[in-house]
Amino acid sequence: MELQDLLYSQGFGTRRVCVGLVQKGCVRLQTDGLWQTCEDPWLEVDAQPDWPFEVQGQAWRYRERAHLMLHKPAGTECSRKPSAWPSIYTLLPAPLRQRPQKGAVDGVQAVGRLDQDTTGLLLLSDDGQFIHRMASPRHHVPKVYQVHTVDAVTTQQMDKLLAGVVLDDDPQPVRAAACQAHGSHHVALTLTEGKYHQVKRMLAAVGNRVQALHRSSMGELHLPADLLPGQWRWLTNSDLRALGYQP
């Protein structure tokens, strides 16, 4: 792969921009453990996974597909064209937002959506197969939400959530896969599908209201305690296995 092709594939701009970055001395490669500036855009490079390079002083590693986790903060929208709140995509560096794709949308995209006031684990990717595998209700990827309620949660309400409640737009009952109490106003609710405002509507259906909502895990992947709101990181191979995904 030529160096300018590699930069283009990683989202550093059009091919012309990528050629210019190299010719201006903005790209450094690691050779025999030493970083050296490369000014040949057509240099053939062996781009293996995690192959290191630098662009304008920032360290990067080559990845054919992007798989990320983001700790979504409150007051952000999972949309490229937000209506009232900042977009989660502003939390990502430009190359991740510009990675080229064959489809109509460039860059990584969120795997499902969280409401603007909901916090927690959000996956993003430019891998269509991964997005479908994680988002499709047919695959039943469990998602755990930490639900803080306005009123105390009763045993009867928890039983109804497990038995199934009917939402106004769906005649089929929607059930929680698990519901665990962690206090009078706090339950961990596990769902295997993702309908519009599902947690809030399920709590409303049993006579309660959500005060705060946080997604803490998907599959066996838990939001790391050291990943602060607004921060992101690449998913590791062990993370992907925890999600039940094999690239």
> For 200, how many CA atoms within 13 A lie in the half-sphere containing its CB?
12
Query: Per DSSP, what are the bridge partners of residue 59?
Result: 54
**Angle formed by the axes of helices 155-163 and 198-205, nearest 10°:** 120
Asked about 115 being catalytic, the answer comes back as yes
Q: Which of the following is catalytic: 5, 106, 115, 117?
A: 115
Structural contact between residues 100 and 106, judged by C-beta atoms closer than 8 angstroms: yes
Q: How far from 126 is each of 132, 140, 178, CA to CA, in Å?
A: 11, 21, 31
DSSP-derived secondary structure letter, 10 = T
86's enclosing H/E stretch is: none
d(CA 102, CA 81): 21
Gyration radius of the chain's alpha carbons: 21
Catalytic residue annotation: 115
